[in-house]
Chain A
Amino acid sequence: MAQRVSSSRQHDFLLLTLAGALTVVAGLAGIVEGLVRVVPNRDVPVTVDLADVPHELLLDGSVAAEATEAVVRVSALGPVPYMLVVAAALLPAITLLVVAVCFALLGRSFYRGDFFTRGNLVALNAAAAALGAGAVVIPTLEGTAASSALVNAGAESGQAMVLGLDMTMLLAGLLLAAVGYAFQRGARLKRDTEGLV
């Protein structure tokens, strides 16, 4: 059953819906941009982490800097390295898209006055799962793609698979999962009080 929502709150929920919808558009643009970057299989830019062997640089001949990342352009990648590079380029935008769709759906649902519904619970859990999985899969894919691209280009990196973890994304996922759990309890409470007079 929909609950009455004050007009100021409705305004907030409308903003949440719009922000979600705009982020969906940004996610779609990110997917297209990622595809344009890595298709076709020629001069594909692959970001390589140099954190283990940082390179000293001199900017403008006077400013000292340290390079911790480099972009390597590789062509004619093998099928597996190329798929890894494509996946690494697209997955961040896809994760953003999934989370944004969930937030847009939540905003729309809140705007209508529906809070502890099964749909909202699914949206929250989906966003949490996307962030949690992305926290491990995105950095791992990026590292592995860079490693395999280097191997394909003839520069031996020594690692077939590079495990990574994005702590910020993981914490955001855990936070959303906690909110999802609270929603689950709220949904149960609502079910228990339905028909109470």
Chain B
Amino acid sequence: MPVDDEARVHCRLDELLTERGMTLARLAELVGVTVVNLSVLKNDRARAIRFSTLTAVCDVLQCEVGDLLVVTPRE
């Protein structure tokens, strides 16, 4: 995958958390991932995500993968 394409994946974790009135710390607790790692994901600084993390986040937030991650169009 070209390096530039990594920056095109946007994580909507912030929006999903706001909609559900949940904090990042609480999500970290429920998912079993550190706040630091979730913060990396939330701020679009993650370059890869484990399937286990993805499914756990989606399970807790009761959403689909497509609700969490979106690919922004090329400029």
Mark A residues whose CB is within 8 Å of B: 193-197
Contact = CB atoms under 8 A, between A and B. Distances in A.
B57 to A, nearest CB: 9
Contacts, number: 22
Contact of A195 (B38, B45, B53): B45
Interface in B26-73: 33, 37-38, 40-41, 45-50, 53
Contact of B33 (A193, A195, A197): A197
Nearest to B47: A195
Nearest to A197: B37
A194 B37 CA distance: 11
A195 B53 CA distance: 13
Interface of B: 33, 37-38, 40-41, 45-50, 53
Residue of A193, A194, A196, A197 ringed by the most chain B CB atoms within 10 A: A197
A14 B30 CA distance: 39
A196 B33 CA distance: 12
16 contacts: A195-B40, A195-B45, A195-B46, A195-B48, A196-B46, A196-B47, A196-B48, A196-B49, A196-B50, A197-B33, A197-B38, A197-B40, A197-B41, A197-B46, A197-B48, A197-B50
A13 to B, nearest CB: 25
A193 B47 CA distance: 8
Contacts of A193: 48
